[in-house]
Amino acid sequence: MNTKHIRMPLDILMTLVSIVLMGGAYLFPEDIVHEICGVTMFILWAVHITLNRRWYGALSRGKYNAHRILQTVINCGILVCVIFLMISAIILSNHIFTFLGIESGLGFARTAHLLASHWYFMFMSLHIGLHADMLAGKTKAPREGVPAIILRVVFILISIYGIYAFITRGIWRYLILQQQFFFFDFERGYILFALDYISIIILFATAIHYLIKLIKKGKTNEHNS
């Protein structure tokens, strides 16, 4: 079965669901919607891992250069976050998993869920950047000439705004547990929330994309010297 046509829609859907989940239960009047989205996300991840099972199977084979080490750290970081999110979500569940009768560990689960969700968001953004060239190829984005320059300028401007959004949304506070509860700014609204988080994704995806280019360029210069 050819999975090439499945991968991109799957990745886009996973990114959109991730942004929705980052809003916690504040985006919906009933928190069961958040739980349903969470379960949907885990199913999508199961499909994603299945489609990429060969990559996981090859972890113990071959040589590791800087690019592969970076890719492995990011992908394994996502997997660890997903595991913690799944465990903590089951413990915190008020609807779907209540039949399990779990009543202990709520404090740990809340902290783990907050921490894992934000690190997952960061790793996911970096993961997108790892595949920027592939995404550009599939979407037929221009790589040279005036349109390419305009596209780069747009991404740079969005990334600059992403820095602002990263600071004002206090993402860094969640990453180091300086803030131990999720705050949703209702004054800024839902649309700006989504735009801010998309700009943060673009910020870190762009950063890792150009870091990889520097690594590859350094390796090429080393071979040519």
Collapsing DSSP states into helix, strand and coil, what is residue 104?
A: coil
Name 1's Cβ contacts closer than 8 Å, sequence gap at least 6: none
Task: Give residue 132's identity as a one-letter amino acid code.
Answer: A
pLDDT confidence of residue 216 = 81
pLDDT confidence of residue 205 = 95
pLDDT confidence of residue 218 = 75
- The whole domain housing 166 covers 4-224
**How confident is the model over 110-121, as pLDDT tens digits?**
999 999 999 999
**How confident is the model over 147-202, as pLDDT tens digits?**
778 888 999 999 999 999 999 999 999 999 998 888 888 888 899 999 999 999 99
- Does the pTM of the predicted model rise above 0.85? yes
**Structural domains in the chain (count):** 1
**How confident is the model over 40-95, as pLDDT tens digits?**
999 999 999 898 888 888 888 888 988 899 999 999 999 999 999 999 999 999 99
Tokens 């390796």 identify what position? Answer: 219
**Interior/surface letters 64-97, b for 16+ CB within 10 angstroms, e for the rest:** eeeeeebbeebbebbeebbebbbbbbbbbbeeee
Name 67's Cβ contacts closer than 8 Å, sequence gap at least 6: 212, 215, 216
